[in-house]
Copies of this chain bind each other. A is one copy, B any other.
Amino acid sequence: MKNIRLIIEYDGTQYCGWQRQNNGMSIQQVIEEAIKQITNEQVKLIGSSRTDAGVHAKGFVANFVTNSKIPSERFKNAINAKLPEDIVIIDSSEVEESFHARYSAKGKKYSYSVLNRPIAAAICRAYTCQHKGLLNCEAMREGAKAFIGTHDFSAFKSSGSSVKTTVRTIYELEIVKHEDNIMFYVSGDGFLYNMVRIIVGTLLEVGSGKIKPIDIVDIIDSKDRDRAGKCVPAKGLCLEKVYY
């Protein structure tokens, strides 16, 4: 029995998300079926997160237990040979029995890509979300500071998930502009359902001048979902890295 850890990159455009569902093809199912083809085992892949439909990942982590004799580092190429081109295994290695992709995770880093121009994207349109009005990055950076640290993020959570606590710690929130692309990088010890997308949606309101950077403090304190910004579309979001 070996516990194998996979690092996975995927383009989420064509999938209903990471987790197996009845209403569409999931990334989990596609990889489990690829593993079945090479091991003859119906493994259960444990994923680090439940990414939504359309969300991408560069460094998703998953693990599974197997009796297969395939050397751990060979799983990478063996599974890739059975996968469609929108999912690739970047790395495979044996980890200790106690490793659990979800429960062992200490933190995560996400990116969100905004194309800030009047015309929609043609190139890379599956990986970025257009915002027409010119955004003030300085104001967004000022507002972003309020998120750093440990807070009750109830105002930044979509309904439909049950969690023990809504307190999370954000380590870093960086905003990088290159030409008309604005990248948001957020890392923290964990994220509530849609939390990154609602944080970005709230910062876009700051960047548009609809709310002031200082207002973010009040919005967090209010714990009121209605006071935060919109949940921006899934396609701009990418799970960059999981920390253990």
Contact = CB atoms under 8 A, between A and B. Distances in A.
Interface of A: 9-11, 56, 58, 76, 80, 85-90, 119-125, 127, 238
Q: Which 10 A-B pairs have the closest CB atoms?
A: A88-B122, A9-B122, A11-B122, A88-B119, A10-B122, A11-B123, A86-B122, A90-B119, A56-B123, A87-B122
20 contacts: A9-B122, A9-B123, A10-B122, A10-B123, A11-B122, A56-B123, A58-B123, A76-B119, A80-B120, A85-B120, A85-B125, A86-B122, A86-B125, A87-B122, A88-B121, A89-B119, A90-B119, A123-B127, A123-B238, A124-B127
A35 to B, nearest CB: 17
A225 to B, nearest CB: 30
A93 to B, nearest CB: 14
A85 B90 CA distance: 30
Contacts of A238: 123
Nearest to A90: B119
Contacts of A85: 120, 122, 125
A125 B11 contact: yes
A124 B11 CA distance: 8
Given A56-B123, A80-B120, A89-B119, 8 more contacts: A9-B123, A10-B122, A11-B125, A80-B119, A85-B120, A87-B122, A88-B120, A124-B127
Residue of A58, A87, A119, A122 with most partner-chain B CB within 10 A? A122
Contacts of A120: 80, 85, 88
Contact of A124 (B87, B88, B121, B124): B124
A10 B9 CA distance: 25
Contacts of A121: 9, 88
